[in-house]
Amino acid sequence: MDLLQEAELLRKVPMFSRLEPAKLKLLAFTSENLSFEDGEVLFLVGDPADSAYVIMEGEVEVMAETDAGEVVAVTLKQNQLFGEMAVLSNAPRSATIRAKGQLRALRITDEAFIKLLSDNPDVALDVLRQLSDKLAASHRQFEDLQRKWLRMEQPASG
């Protein structure tokens, strides 16, 4: 696939849709288009945050470690961004990510991602919205688990 084709694919990602053609080509040039097989791990919890990813085709599973072992916390789909939190906070990966089925993802290095955000307020705002959505979903999950736990702690009456 040539640079022009990659730039056109990037234009279909809502987060990048308003970027001018030259910036899309630069993003395509500085990014890496990767393919993964079902179950293949993209990165592990604790790995250094050297890039963010955008799902071009397919899905990924965000894995969480529990006392019962590893479980799927959430599934992310086409056009969704992941790995950005660790890049933005300059912290190790907070979760393991693996491909669910065939996956094609765009890998954006941490330097290129930060530059993309600082040079493009529309993209930065979209990333902030996605982060807010993720935080809200995590908070809802936490509240649900807390309610379930409290119900289990209540002594049975009777």
Q: Is residue 45 part of a domain?
A: yes
* Distance (Å, whole) CA 129 – CA 151: 33
Give yes or no for residue 41 having a pLDDT over 70: yes
Q: What is the CATH number of the domain that holds 30?
A: 2.60.120.10
> Distance between alpha carbon 130 and the CA centroid of its chain, in Å?
9
Average pLDDT over residues 51-72: 91
Q: Give the structural domain span for 11.
A: 3-109+116-153
Phi, psi of 149, rounded to the nearest 5 degrees? -65, -45
Give yes or no for residue 91 having a pLDDT over 80: yes
Express each pLDDT in 22-35 by its tens digit.
Answer: 888 888 889 999 99
Residue 69 pLDDT class (50, 70, 90 cuts): confident
Residues near 22 by beta carbon (within 8 Å), at least 6 away in sequence: none
Query: What's the pTM value of the predicted model, to 2 decimals?
Result: 0.81
Q: Is residue 142 part of a domain?
A: yes
Domain count, the chain: 1
Q: Is residue 17 part of a domain?
A: yes
Is residue 97 classed exposed, middle or buried when 0-12, 13-18 and 19+ CB atoms within 10 A define those classes? buried
Q: Is residue 158 part of a domain?
A: no
Closest CA to 27 of 98, 123, 102, 144: 123
Give yes or no for residue 158 having a pLDDT over 80: no
Contact 30, 112 (CB under 8 A): yes
Range name among 11-15, 23-27, 123-127 with the lowest pLDDT average: 11-15
C-alpha distances out from residue 49 to 5, 8, 70, 96, 114, Å? 28, 27, 21, 12, 12
Contact 36, 103 (CB under 8 A): yes
Q: Is residue 84 part of a domain?
A: yes
Instruction: Dump the DSSP string for 108-131.
Output: EEHHHHHHHHHH-HHHHHHHHHHH
Identify which has the larger pLDDT, 40 or 134.
Answer: 40
Give yes or no for residue 124 having a pLDDT over 60: yes
Identify which has the larger pLDDT, 129 or 155.
Answer: 129
